[in-house]
């Protein structure tokens, strides 16, 4: 099913997807039920070696508190996405997508467990994107605090039912998007993430 057009698509809990986003279009990500993180990654459609960069973005913004008006840059220092609407104001761009190793090392759990990294690997494979090309993701709605001693604390998301973030594409992109699978990130409950693509020039949803 095409993601283009005026319709909302649901990502089931603990799963992910990938799709094309054209320059000028806006990706609207909605936390339907509240307290659910969505991992976002982007690649230049014409050269998938160009990828969303946490380091470049934070460096140029001078802050980790990325919200409306912030530009998300590529590893080649080109604008990829601009935040044009943000209902929440707290997102994370420090932590990598949860992986099988995350659950072994942090959660001390062996065995199969859905992960954002695994879901992104599967979703991006048809676009020729290998696992090693998946960087730190922009973790929409994730609430990570920095303690006075420098330690990171993963807290429940501040998003409530229906809260959204909108990202305008500044170039043609391949987007990977998940409904996060890590217990702590989502206040220990897994929920869907909704998204839609708004046509270029359309005003963001009120």
Our CA angle for 30, 180, 93, nearest 5°, is 85
Cα four-point dihedral sign 33, 183, 37, 121: negative
pTM of the model: 0.92
User: What average pLDDT does the segment 122-151 reach?
Assistant: 97
Question: Higher pLDDT residue, 45 or 184?
Answer: 45
User: What average pLDDT does the segment 120-126 reach?
Assistant: 98
- The per-residue pLDDT for range 24-53, each reduced to its tens digit, is 999 999 999 999 999 999 999 999 999 999
- The per-residue pLDDT for range 143-169, each reduced to its tens digit, is 999 999 999 999 999 999 999 999 999
- Alpha-carbon span 74 to 174, nearest angstrom: 13
**pLDDT averaged over every residue in the chain:** 93
């Amino acid at each position: 099913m095409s993601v283009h057009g005026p319709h909302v698509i649901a990502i089931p809990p603990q799963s992910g997807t990938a799709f094309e986003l054209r320059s000028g279009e806006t990706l609207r990500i909605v936390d339907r039920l509240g307290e659910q993180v969505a991992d976002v990654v982007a690649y230049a459609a014409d050269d998938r070696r160009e990828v969303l960069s946490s380091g470049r973005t934070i460096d140029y913004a001078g802050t980790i508190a990325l919200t409306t008006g912030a530009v998300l840059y590529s590893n080649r220092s080109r604008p990829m996405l601009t935040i044009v609407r943000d209902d929440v104001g707290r997102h994370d761009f420090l932590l990598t997508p949860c992986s099988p190793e995350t659950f072994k090392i942090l959660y001390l759990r062996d065995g199969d467990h859905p992960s954002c990294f695994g879901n992104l690997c599967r979703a991006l494979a048809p676009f020729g994107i290998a696992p090693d090309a998946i960087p730190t993701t922009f973790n929409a709605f994730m609430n990570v605090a920095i303690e006075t001693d420098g330690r990171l604390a993963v807290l429940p998301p501040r998003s409530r039912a229906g809260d959204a973030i909108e990202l305008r594409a500044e170039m043609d992109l391949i987007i990977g998007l998940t409904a996060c699978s890590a217990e702590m990130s989502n206040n220990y409950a897994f929920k869907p993430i909704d998204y839609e693509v708004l046509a270029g020039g359309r005003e963001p949803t009120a």
